[in-house]
Homo-oligomer: A and B are copies of this chain.
């Protein structure tokens, strides 16, 4: 047994890589301890240490550097069928992670290669090379591939352009605009010449939306009535609503949408822990011929090259910002996820758990 703390010093990383080839490596991981009823607590999570085998032919051993926590993970903690397989009790959680190959059984992924995977919530893992996606860290920092250059950015992109068919010059309202997906959506919409209205839940986030993301109108959804804000911000109505919250903001958006308006249904922070009543004005969908459409980013991975072609140069030139809120260490990961599920979540931009590096 090797104490994982032994590997925490950056100087020892090469040694660890060599060592990993010689003997079983250990990894700490976070497992689902129990399914939450309503709001989850830290007792839903358990930590365990596992021995990893040497990578076999076609496999690699990866040390995770950063892992993602995302609101959608709350749904995977529930029982029952869902669009992604539920987390299983006693098994490690899953999620996006960026890591580095430290031992390789596949010549296409030599030691030192940076890869994106769904093997988050653990310090290291062994997986088939074809499960992993190589990322180019010479054009952007590794963690950006969990944010605006990754699934987060693609979620924003697909919601705006593929689902809601946002057109240049239109007006779009984005709830939870200072969150990871919201931040990306605000910026992509601005890059396409749209007028952007965004909501958030704290003064810090409003400043970020106004000063860094340059949105046209930002409001605190807890300060007054969202319907009034939308009326002030867009007296002629909004064309598109990018919905991260559901609840009262969806109700306000339905009222503000113009005829033939579109809603990209991306998430429902307002009701992740406790179901909230639906909008009382769904009848507006009929009269205004609105289209509400849900989507899951994993249906759209083939669109990633289109996003990267636009976003990588924009990020490099400073036109795009990939704001991140870091927490450190695997032990912090459960708390970071729970925080995201609150309306007063502390993160601005992408919440990233730094595991190493």
Contacts and interface: CB of A to CB of B under 8 A. Distances in A.
Interface of A: 75, 82-83, 246, 250-251, 259, 265-268, 271-272, 275-296, 299
A292 B287 CA distance: 13
Contact of A294 (B250, B280, B286, B299): B286
B259 A283 contact: no
A252 to B, nearest CB: 13
Nearest to A277: B277
Contacts of A282: 246, 250, 265, 268, 271, 278-279
A82 to B, nearest CB: 6
Contact of A283 (B268, B281, B293): B268
B281 A275 contact: yes
A213 to B, nearest CB: 24
Nearest to A244: B286
Contact of A285 (B251, B265, B275, B284): B265
A286 B296 contact: yes
Contacts of A267: 286
30 contacts: A75-B283, A75-B287, A82-B287, A83-B287, A83-B289, A246-B283, A251-B278, A265-B285, A266-B286, A268-B286, A271-B283, A275-B280, A276-B280, A277-B277, A277-B280, A278-B279, A278-B281, A279-B282, A285-B293, A285-B294, A286-B294, A287-B294, A288-B294, A289-B293, A289-B296, A289-B299, A291-B291, A291-B292, A291-B294, A292-B292
Contacts of A266: 286
A143 B340 CA distance: 59
Contacts of A278: 251, 277-282
A288 B281 CA distance: 22
A354 to B, nearest CB: 29
Contacts of A268: 282-283, 286
A272 B287 CA distance: 12
